[in-house]
Amino acid sequence: MRKPIIAGNWKLNKNPKETAEFVAGIKGKLADPAKVEAVIGAPAVDLQTLIDAAKGTDLKVASENSYFEEAGAFTGETSPKVLAEMGVDYGIIGHSERREYFHETDEDINKKAHALFKNGVTPIICCGETLETRKAGKVNEWVSGQIKAALKDLSAAQVASAVIAYEPIWAIGTGETATPEQAQEVCHLIRETVAGLYDQTTAENVRIQYGGSMKPANVKELMAQPDIDGGLVGGASLQPDSFLELVNYQG
């Protein structure tokens, strides 16, 4: 059984003070951790505050980005080794904003996945198509290509423990959500791609999130889809109340 995982992605929002206030606002109100995993992805400058504030709660912590080298002359980068030492649980990689604005390639994302695994941090690997790709009828080849590239040379055990986030770019931050059927179709395709690359057991274990304007009003129907195991959530993760509504979607 795959445990649902709801992960916030704060992007370039919140300072350490706001981070601590957010955690104070959700303390004692998270869903049973046996039923759903709650994660917040925060900017690197907030991670230590988030880790400290989350101590004694069931909240897990994610970085929003990390480099594939652990140390050296890489000004401004974030070391996966240091993230692990700090106690970061998950590392978001390959977000479409990183791909678009910071020119990250599939190869970079694959190297980052290897570096996170080497250090014991679980990657949340993002993929997803633009509206043009969807209109051209090329979603399947685009997304499966991203998945194949991101997973290159990872072991079946690593992939089984990873999280893949399907985020159609046209639905991110736009208020436009993919229909549950559209989201399910691509999440299923991702699982089939993993089955083809590895085996059925690996495919059945890897958790697949949907991301793109997930909010309290649509979380239940998205989470009801058989291949959707969670959400990667931007806007609706910024306020404690709406984050709690998402995490507590099972009622």
Q: How far is the CB of 91 from ligand PEP (least distance, A)?
A: 14
Residue 188: C-alpha distances to residues 39, 177, 182, 204, 226 (Å): 23, 17, 10, 11, 8
- CB nearer to ligand PEP: pick between 76 and 175: 175
- Draw the binding track, 119-158, toward ligand PEP (x: CB under 6 A; -: no contact): ----------------------------------------
Q: Is 242 annotated as a binding residue?
A: no
Contacting ligand PEP (CB under 6 A), which of 43, 128, 230, 234?
234
Active site residue 167: yes
Cβ 194 vs Cβ 235: under 8 Å: no
Stretch binding ligand PEP (CB under 6 A), from 19-27, 128-136, 178-186, 233-241:
233-241
Smallest separation (angstroms) from ligand PEP to the CB of 212:
5
Residues 6 or more apart whose Cβ sits within 8 Å of residue 10: 40, 41, 42, 43, 46, 64, 234, 237, 238
Beta strands in the chain (DSSP E): 5-9, 37-42, 59-63, 90-93, 122-127, 163-166, 207-211, 230-233
Closer residue to ligand PEP (CB): 36 or 232: 232
Q: Is 235 annotated as a binding residue?
A: yes
For residues 166 and 128, is the Cβ–Cβ distance under 8 A? yes
User: How many amino acids of this chain bind ligand PEP (CB under 6 A)?
Assistant: 14
Write down the least CB distance from residue 7 to ligand PEP, Å. 9
In the complex, least distance from residue 165 CB atom to ligand PEP, rounded to whole angstroms: 7
Catalytic residue among 97, 104, 129, 167: 167
Site for ligand PEP in 8-47 (CB under 6 A): 9, 11
27 among the known binding-site residues?
no
Catalytic site residue 95?
Answer: yes
Contact 110, 147 (CB under 8 A): no
Angle formed at CA 110 by CA 107 and CA 116, multiple of 5 degrees: 140
| The pair of three-digit structure tokens given for residue 129, joined into one six-digit string | 């198509």
How far apart, in whole angstroms, are the C-alpha atoms of residue 209 and residue 197? 19
Site for ligand PEP in 158-187 (CB under 6 A): 167, 172-173
Helix (H, G, I), strand (E, B) or coil at 8: strand
- Does residue 6 contact residue 231 with C-beta atoms inside 8 Å? yes
Instruction: Supply the residues annotated as catalytic.
Output: 95, 167
| Residues contributing to the annotated binding site | 9-11, 173, 213, 234-235
Interface residues with ligand PEP (CB under 6 A)? 9, 11, 167, 172-173, 211-214, 232-236
| Residues contributing to the annotated binding site for substrate | 9-11, 173, 213, 234-235
